[in-house]
Amino acid sequence: MNVNDIFHEWGSDLVVGAGGDLALASSSDTVTQRVVRRLLTNPGGYIWNLDYGGGLAQFVGGPANPAKVEAIVSTQLALESAVPQNPPPQVSVAVADTAAGYVVANITYADPTSGLAVGINVTAGGAA
């Protein structure tokens, strides 16, 4: 995969590049941005594809449910064309704070350009 996207981390502003234009993300940064966007977008929230998104925000304010988070993350990774499926991405979810309901999804996938392992940690749940 040799595609550039605008560099935009979830919850942050756009970044200005060295030449004064919008900064670009490439390689594993592009894939990471796409994975995070997919996991945090609520189903029905992307008007051009109403089935898109994992909706991890649904876990805010509820009890920790690592098995359900792991199932959602695994399903969404299989749907994301930017994530190589060979070798298959690895997902493990652990409770980080039982009282607050926080779980952390640890995701590892192979960078489509280099083949090297890339890790992402996504937190779900917690008090509203």
> What is the tens place of the pLDDT at every residue in 69-113?
999 999 999 999 989 999 999 999 998 887 777 888 999 999 888
58, 3, 57: which is closest to 33 by C-alpha?
3
The predicted structure's pLDDT at residue 4 = 67
Which residue would you say has higher pLDDT here, 77 or 14?
A: 77
Q: Which tokens in the block code for residue 80?
A: 């994301």
Cis peptide preceding 88, ω within 30 of 0 = no
pLDDT at 97: 83
Q: What is the model's pTM?
A: 0.82
| 127 band by pLDDT with thresholds 50, 70 and 90 | low
Angle between helical axes of 28-40 and 66-79 (0-180°, round to 10): 130
Domain of 16? Answer: 5-124
Name the burial class of residue 104, with classes exposed (0-12), middle (13-18) and buried (19+) by CB atoms within 10 angstroms of its CB.
Answer: middle
In tens, the pLDDT along 59-69 reads 887 888 889 99
pLDDT tens-digit series, residues 46-61: 899 999 999 988 888 7
Most confident segment among 6-15, 24-33, 84-93 = 84-93
Count of domains observed in the chain: 1
- Supply the mean pLDDT for the chain: 86
CATH code of the domain containing 60: 3.10.450.40
Residue 100 has phi, psi (to 5 degrees) of: -90, -10
Are 45 and 53 in contact by the 8 Å Cβ rule? The answer is yes
Listed as own residue / partner, the contacts of 46-53 with beta carbons closer than 8 Å and 24 or more positions apart are: none
